[in-house]
Structure 1
Amino acid sequence: MRIAVQMDPIDSMVVERDTSLALMAEAQARGHEIWWFTPNELFFEGGVVQARARRVSVRLARPHYEAHEEAIREAGAFDVILIRQDPPFDMGYVSNTYLLERVPAATLVLNRPQGIRNIPEKLSTLRFPDLIPPTFVGRDLDALEAFAKRFDAVVLKPAFLAGGEGVIKARAREPDFRWRATKFMEEAGREPIIAQEFLPGVKDGDKRVFVLGGEAIGAVMRLPQGDDFRANLHAGGRAVKTDLDARDREIAAAVAPLLAEESILFAGLDVIAGRLTEINVTSPTLVRELARFGGADIPKLFWDRVEALRK
């Protein structure tokens, strides 16, 4: 198969832990041809979606790629296109999914562009009120303050960023709460903000549950470091080995019908103290850590599924 990966620039990869690189390497090992392009290199012209793409060979060590050729190719010339660029999930990201929907149906685009639009990673959890922490979404300062007063502390989150970026902890009883919340809203522009009860259990970890084809197949725990309550690796968190438990499987089973409905093959669920906090469908990560801890070989299982879909 000829496979293209839409992603952030290949030189920006964190070679030691990049999931996209692992997916590319496994596909290459199976004899498939590997191309990549950035979202900015995808365009519609003359009734056809095209991309300025580069054919590469990859490896899981530095130097991690070798470039072979660059060409403008019709997106329909690829058998599979993986959507793997990181958020922010802004209008640039959304607009790109509309272009990818114009790719001929013979090309398998994963995860499905419409599904990515329909499952914004933080807001989509609102479909599962019994699984998530107490949550506020909006921009009304008085309503936000009233919500926050119900708890010892809350976390404020931008709705469409990732990796723990912009997430802060606040207490309504503190005299500067309204000022901090106002500044937070200003930085969010016109977007709503998310507030959730702070879960002290985050000290024991933020679990990433991997879901492939609707089935929970493994998990990695991320632990916050130092005084930072955020466990995201981008924020300095540390990945450690863990196992799936009954609650993880319950959450995955509850979310699976939504993933199936939206044709999401591969997703990552974030779970803190038994509560669902995110459904990651853009570019789920941490599969390299899972493999290092002796867990499932997700790239292998992923391409087994994709090859079966292409038959």
Structure 2
Amino acid sequence: MILLFVADPIETFKTHKDSTFAMMREAAKRGHEIWACEVGDLVWRSGGRVVARKARALALTGDAKDWFTVLATQELVLAETGAVLMRKDPPFDSEYFYATHLLGQAEREGARVFNKPAALREHPEKLALMEFPQFCPPTLVTRSAEVIRAFHAEHRDIILKPLDGMGGAGIFRVGADGLNLGSIIETLNKNGAETVMVQRYLPEILQGDKRVLVIGGEAVPFCLARIPQGGEVRGNLAAGGKGVAQPISERDREIAAALGPVLAARGLLLVGLDVIGGSLTEINVTSPTCFQEITDQTGFDVAKMFVDALERALLA
């Protein structure tokens, strides 16, 4: 069947670690046709169906550098594919939001889209965890500098982050002395114009910010602990963190078992839970990663588990 990947430019893929590439490779092994487009290629004309204007059919070469050849470039009707996989990286900005509406229309026309566009909109990655307070650390979402200051006074050591960030960008830690708290608030909330998330600092970050993948409602048995390096407070790989694969803990299993079936039922085939110590800190739904790091270090084939789940979902 045709699998259309809506992603960032494929020329930018780092194939040694890219999870979307791992999905493509596994699907191609099974004989599926691999197509790719970018969000900017999506077009909906009045009276017509949603199409990918310049979709490209790919043949994977097996070469690490020149990893694909283009077999064809054409307009592709999304409803005529076997599945559409939305793998565009954050930020979840207005353009991403509009793309989910185009994909939602494609669904109404008969396309099967993963993750489900409505579920992407309803589960913003920083905010989605607030539905599950039993698993998350003390957390605040606000535009108010006064409320943030009160939260700091209560918890003394806090993390502040923008709601639309990715890869650890824009994350700040403020300790008990409150040094630069005012400046950080102004930077993040743009003088009250933008909403900020604040969480109590979790010292367990020194053992890693764990990415626990949940596929089709079930946890991958290994996670990737992203361990801060060089005095950093951020474990994100994009911020220089070291990725160490390890078996998931009993607490990880407990969180995944509680959230996995709920999120899967809402149309989220693939979810990345971020867990520090025993606390859930984010729920990633746009384009969760770490497939290849886990597979390379443990031998567990995450991409195979994903494509298995995708094929089951398409038969449902």
CA distance in 2, matches of 1:21, 1:275: 30
* 1:92 pairs with 2:95: yes
Q: Give the partner amino acid of 2:156.
A: D
Partner of 1:48: 49
Letter in 1 for 2:248: L
In the TM superposition, residue 94 of structure 1 has moved relative to its aligned partner by 1.1
Secondary structure, counterpart of 1:303 in structure 2: helix
Amino acid of the residue matched to residue 101 of structure 1? G
1:45 aligned counterpart, secondary structure? coil
Q: Distance between the aligned counterparts of 1:147 and 1:87, measured in 2? A: 28
2:78 aligned residue (68, 75, 87): 75
Shift of 1:305: 2.1
1:163 maps to which of 160, 163, 167: 167
What TM-score results when the alignment is normalised by the length of structure 1? 0.95
The answer to whether 1:209 aligns with 2:212 is: yes
CA–CA distance in structure 2, aligned partners of residues 71 and 190 of structure 1: 42
Structure 2 residue 308 is matched with structure 1 residue 307: no
Distance 2:139 2:97 in 1: 25
Matched, 1:278 2:279: no
Q: TM-score, with normalisation over the residues of structure 2?
A: 0.94
Tell me the residue number matched to 2:8: 8
Distance, in Å, in 1 between the alignment partners of 2:309 and 2:102 is: 25
Kindly report which structure 2 residues correspond to 1:1-311, keeping only aligned pairs within 5 A, or say none: 1-46=1-46, 47-51=48-52, 52-58=54-60, 59=62, 61-104=64-107, 106-171=110-175, 173-186=177-190, 190-218=193-221, 219-311=223-315
Report the RMSD for the aligned CA atoms in angstroms: 1.6
Secondary structure of 2:89's aligned partner: coil
Aligned equivalents of 1:197, 1:13: Cα separation in 2 = 35
After TM superposition, give the deviation of residue 254 of structure 1 in Å: 1.8
Q: What is the CA-CA distance between 1:81 and the residue it aligns to?
A: 0.6
Q: Which moved more, 1:94-103 or 1:252-261?
A: 252-261
Deviations 1:70-96 (A, max 9, x none): 111211121111000100011111110
Identity rate, percent: 38
| Alpha-carbon distance in structure 2 between the residues aligned to 1:175 and 1:120 | 30
User: 1:32-90 CA deviation, whole Å, 9 max, x = no partner?
Assistant: 11110011111101421011211111237221211122111211121111000100011
Gaps of 5+ in 2: none
> In the alignment, residue 54 of structure 1 is paired with which amino acid?
R
Amino acid at match of 1:102: Q
- Deviation string for 1:260-292 (max 9, x for gaps)? 331111111000011001111110100101101
CA contact 2:217–2:262 (8 Å) conserved in 1: no
- AA aligned to 2:44 is F
Cα distance in 1 between the residues matched to 2:66 and 2:157: 45
